[in-house]
């Protein structure tokens, strides 16, 4: 039990430690390799074996040593990008061939129309239609990454905070770009004063600047916490089997895990939707809508 | 109790309080949304959209609090 009181390096090692401690109460089973699918690693697993991804030597950029090797999460990140590109190219070719889409192209069209009508038009209005491709890419990319985590031997890249931070960074840039393009730079900068008297500016400007960063930070944390949270719940439920040390107890957690997995499919869609929706919403805040006076 | 034990206790209590707040907020939100779409089924879609947005914002604030709990448990 004393092991659990030493402060571990990161969240993931800590989770591993606590679970290992918990597992030790039940027996000698080493829990680490169940939890391993949460971490980023240099090994790809597939049915019947595993493959160690060749690592590049770290790259030196201006005094910084950056390891650009491909890891498990990077692999699934790239896989999602390849799948998305292939799906989009196939669907658009088929739609170009005949205007009435069937089968797969029809499925893709459902998503496209949904994003355009339900997300872009409701949050940004007709002025935001030019951002539809960006929102659509965000949605489908996150969705595919989320769903890859539910495939056996897969990993969800969105369960890595660096990936979600990158996605949030792109969203952050796009939110500012949309606001600047719609209002002009001077009007955009004037917004940081919040329209209050000049002697309140020292308070108002930091708050407004903090505000634009908080939005992106919340996007990043939300996606990461939701995706890794689901995996942790599944592993914790599976851990009960090893706590009970009985094969007759096993079906109960397994039933729960199946139910949680189904819930995870729902969460994968909802989180992709929420990320795209909130990005569109924050972009829409910077785009003046019709005649109404644009406050905040 | 030593200081680390207090930190773990605080993290546990914090997580519990966070859940209480978030569950209350989302529960209230969902009940109002149900009521609204029950009264006017024709705007159910718009109500659902704004409900998900509000739920996501509540969730975002919840995660900030949870991050503090996790930091307490780690440091």
Confidence of residue A7 (pLDDT cuts 50, 70, 90): very low
Whole-number pLDDT of residue B1: 65
Q: What is the reported pLDDT for A102?
A: 77
Find the mean pLDDT for residues A8-34: 48
Q: Are A167 and A271 in contact (CB under 8 A)?
A: no
- Most confident region among A9-18, A64-73, B17-26 by mean pLDDT: B17-26
Nearest to A120 by CA among A296, A293, A278, A4: A278
State the Cα torsion A265-A140-A149-B14 to the nearest 10°. -70
| A-contacting residues in B 14-53 (Cβ below 8 Å) | 45-46, 49, 52-53
Q: Which is nearest to A215 in space by CA: A273, A176, A268? A: A176
Q: State whether residue B67 sits within 8 Å of chain A by CB.
A: yes
Q: Angle, to 10 degrees, between the axis of helix A132-148 and the axis of helix A103-114?
A: 120
Instruction: Please report which confidence band the pLDDT of residue A5 belongs to, taking 50, 70 and 90 as the band edges.
Output: very low
Q: What is the mean pLDDT of chain A?
A: 80
The residues on A that touch B, with CB distances below 8 Å, are 5, 7-8, 10-11, 14, 118, 122, 218, 221-222, 225, 270, 273-274, 277-278, 281
Picking from A274, A184, A168, the residue whose alpha carbon sits closest to that of residue A226 is: A274
Domains with residue ranges and CATH for chain B: 3-74 (1.20.20.10)
Q: Which of B3, B63, B70, B71 to probe the A interface (max A CBs under 10 A)?
A: B63
Residues listed for chain B: 75
**Assigned token pair, B29:** 């939100």
Q: Are B70 and A11 inside 8 Å of each other by CB?
A: yes
Distance CA A232, CA A147 (A): 16
Q: Does the pLDDT at position A10 exceed 70? A: no
What ipTM, to 2 d.p.?
0.70
Residue A38 has pLDDT above 80, yes or no: no
Band the pLDDT of B37: cuts 50, 70, 90. very high
Instruction: Please state, as a whole number, how many other Cβ atoms lie within 10 Å of the Cβ of residue A144.
Output: 22
pLDDT of A132-145, one tens digit each? 999 999 999 999 99
Q: Provide mean pLDDT across the span A148-157.
A: 85
- A125 vs B19 pLDDT, higher one: B19
Nearest to B4 among A5, A222, A278 (CB): A5
């Amino acid at each position: 039990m004393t092991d659990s009181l030493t402060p571990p390096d990161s969240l993931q090692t800590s989770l591993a430690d606590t679970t290992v401690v918990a597992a030790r109460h039940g027996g000698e089973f080493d829990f680490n390799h169940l939890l391993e699918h949460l971490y980023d690693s240099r090994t790809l697993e597939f049915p019947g074996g595993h493959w160690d991804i060749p690592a590049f030597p770290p790259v030196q950029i201006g005094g910084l040593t950056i390891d650009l090797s491909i890891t498990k999460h990077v692999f699934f990140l790239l896989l999602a990008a390849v799948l998305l590109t292939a799906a989009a190219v196939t669907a658009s070719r088929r739609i170009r061939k005949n205007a009435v889409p069937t089968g797969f192209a029809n499925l893709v069209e459902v998503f496209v129309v949904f994003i355009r009508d339900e997300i872009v038009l409701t949050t940004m209005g007709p002025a935001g239609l030019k951002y539809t491709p960006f929102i659509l890419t965000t949605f489908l990319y996150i969705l595919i990454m989320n769903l890859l985590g539910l495939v056996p031997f897969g990993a969800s890249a969105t369960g890595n905070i660096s990936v979600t931070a990158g996605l949030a960074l792109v969203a952050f840039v796009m939110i500012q770009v949309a606001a600047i393009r719609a209002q002009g730079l001077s009007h955009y900068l004037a917004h940081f004063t919040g329209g209050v008297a000049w002697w309140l500016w020292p308070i108002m400007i930091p708050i407004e600047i903090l505000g634009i960063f908080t939005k992106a930070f919340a996007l990043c944390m939300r996606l990461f916490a939701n995706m890794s949270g689901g995996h942790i719940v599944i592993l914790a439920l599976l851990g009960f089997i090893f706590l009970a040390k009985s094969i007759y107890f096993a079906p109960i957690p397994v039933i729960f895990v199946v139910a949680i997995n189904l819930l995870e499919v729902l969460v994968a869609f909802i989180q992709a939707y929420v990320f795209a929706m909130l990005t569109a919403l924050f972009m829409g805040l910077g785009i003046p809508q019709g005649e109404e006076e644009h406050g905040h | 109790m030593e200081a680390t034990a207090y930190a773990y206790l605080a993290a546990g209590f914090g997580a519990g309080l966070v859940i209480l707040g978030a569950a209350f907020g989302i529960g209230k939100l969902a009940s109002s949304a149900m009521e609204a779409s029950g009264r006017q089924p024709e705007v159910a879609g718009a109500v659902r959209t704004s409900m998900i947005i509000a739920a996501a914002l509540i969730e975002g604030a919840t995660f900030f609090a949870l991050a503090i709990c996790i930091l307490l448990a780690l440091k």
